Amino acid sequence: MEKKFYKHRVHEIIEKAETGDKVSEVFDYFIVGLIILNVLAIILESFSSIYYPYRHIFSSFELFSVIIFTVEYLLRIWTSDYIYQSASKTKTIFRFIITPMALVDLFAILPFYLPMLIPFDLRFLRLLRIIRFLRLFKLNRYSNSLRLVGKVLEKKKSELFITLIVTLILLLIASTLMYYLESKVQPNAFPNILASLWWAISTLTTVGYGDVYPVTVWGRILSGSIAFLGIGLVALPTGILSSGFMEELRDQQEEENIDEREAIKYCPYCGEKIK
């Protein structure tokens, strides 16, 4: 019974703090501060003049961070049965570790342990160090704004997926046509359809770097048409996300109004509203 109590208390502490739970609030602030310091450390490491003189400090801070994040991850696995109910502990743990936030927690510490298990070359080690930026997404547990973004993306994933498919089809058609229109005139700029895809992306997004461009009449006509289509197509996901944010904010406001109305009671003597 005592073990169950401590386990439940640990779950309360590592989850987002409820109002009045000072210990959980301190833990939340500590984790948020550690995440921000980790991101700052990654940025400072890119400055050779800062990193090499103080690399032992960066290494010690990285070791400290990994220990804290590892303990946090293991504690979340240990208390996962308070979130996911399954027939066995193994199934509960599996359901937890495949959730997006649990994967973020895992990838936040994985770059530290992988080189100990598998030998990598220096280029891949640099890539692993970049993955540490995923620690920034751990803030999603503590930020209402980030949770709002996640809810909007979840609700609008079907519309966004359709937009993505349409965009990919248009890119494929544009790069194919441009290859056949320009490959004979500019074999170096448009050697194949995949190389032409770079031109299609920069044109459709209206970026237009100017490193690859058509010189034939039909190629320029196609390029102008794709540029015009890109103006509307790029704005489409923006409109979908904007409407999603407005809907979510409206739903949150309605929930707050409902909670506020439920909190209002009436005095049995004078009939006035009291909270």
CATH of the domain at 177: 1.10.287.70
Domain membership of residue 118 (yes or no) is yes
pLDDT tens across 1-17, in order? 566 778 888 888 888 76
Domain membership of residue 272 (yes or no) is no
In angstroms, the CA 63 to CA 34 distance is 12
Same domain, 20 and 137: yes
Same domain, 24 and 94: yes
Same domain, 177 and 102: no
| pLDDT given at position 181 | 92
Domain membership of residue 171 (yes or no) is yes
Same domain, 73 and 166: no
| pLDDT given at position 131 | 72
State the total domains in the chain: 2
Q: Where a domain ends, among 142, 173, 208?
A: 142
Same domain, 41 and 122: yes
Q: Which residues of the chain have pLDDT under 70?
A: 1-3, 17, 19, 86-87, 119-129, 143-146, 255-275
Same domain, 120 and 165: no
| pLDDT given at position 142 | 74
Domain membership of residue 275 (yes or no) is no
Instruction: Give the range of the structural domain holding residue 187, as residue numbers without chain letter.
Output: 157-266
pLDDT tens across 74-104, in order? 999 988 888 877 667 788 888 888 888 888 8
Distances (CA, A) of 69 to 11, 62, 76, 262: 15, 10, 10, 39
CB atoms within 10 A of CB 233: 18
| pLDDT given at position 243 | 84
| pLDDT given at position 122 | 54
In angstroms, the CA 56 to CA 53 distance is 8
Same domain, 10 and 51: yes
CB atoms within 10 A of CB 199: 25
Same domain, 138 and 37: yes
What is the CATH classification number for the domain harbouring 123? 1.20.120.350
Distances (CA, A) of 23 to 10, 15, 27, 269: 10, 11, 6, 40
Domain membership of residue 149 (yes or no) is no
Same domain, 41 and 99: yes
Q: Where a domain ends, among 113, 142, 171?
A: 142
Same domain, 203 and 134: no
Same domain, 138 and 169: no
Domain membership of residue 94 (yes or no) is yes
Same domain, 231 and 185: yes
